[in-house]
Amino acid sequence: MNFVLKIAAMVAALLVASAFVLLSTNWNLDPAYSIQFKGTKAEGTFSGLTGLVVFDPANLPAAKMEVQVAAATIKTGNKIKDGHARGESWFDVARYPEIRFYSTAFSRVGAGGYSVSGDLTMHGIKKPVAIPFQFTRQADKGLFTGKLRVNRKDFGINGNIFGFTVGDEFEVELRVPVAR
């Protein structure tokens, strides 16, 4: 009898845990997103964003972001710069084809903001980062907007002999519309 109660308790716990996952909102990434970066003398965009976003402001412990972007999609507005950025001295997209972010925790920040902490992997190096963001929702659509600062040298992106002209820190601005 004790065995039956243990099994029943385990099944009940699994059902409760499953209900929390089902109640969380899974979002599909809208192709109208933008990932922009700006530095001292370099700016541009990335495309090729894919991944999983589970987010419900009422259930932050169940939230999850596992997203990646193709490093080769970098665009600076100059084809020669784009070629250099994809090359071995910079992003080395042949060896490191993806930039990844996997969340580890979500929290509320201020009256209407949030922060997601997680691991950013770029150029084969994984570093913890926190991304403050806003989330707005209307029916089955939502919008994530956020900014973070990234130092390219923290990720081993040293550049070529002209790397000093680009600057080390970049502000990355994210605008990601989503739909259910």
- Model pLDDT, residue 167: 81
Residues 140-152 pLDDT 10s: 999 999 999 999 9
Percent composition of the chain: helix, strand, coil (DSSP 3-state, to 5): 25, 45, 30
Pairing of strands 169-179, 50-54: unpaired
pLDDT at 19 over 70: no
Q: What global pTM score does this model have?
A: 0.82
| 176 Cβ contact partners less than 8 Å away, ≥ 6 residues apart | 29, 30, 33, 34, 49, 53, 143, 144, 145
Per-residue pLDDT band for 111 (boundaries 50, 70, 90) equals confident
- Model pLDDT, residue 108: 96
Please compute the mean of the pLDDT values over residues 46-59 and round it to a whole number: 95
Percent of the chain with pLDDT over 90: 71
pLDDT at 37 over 90: yes
| Lowest-pLDDT choice from 13-22, 54-63, 89-98, 118-127 | 13-22
Taking CA atoms, 41 is separated from 5, 24, 63, 166, 168, in Å, by 66, 41, 36, 5, 10
pLDDT at 6 over 70: no
Percent of the chain with pLDDT over 70: 84
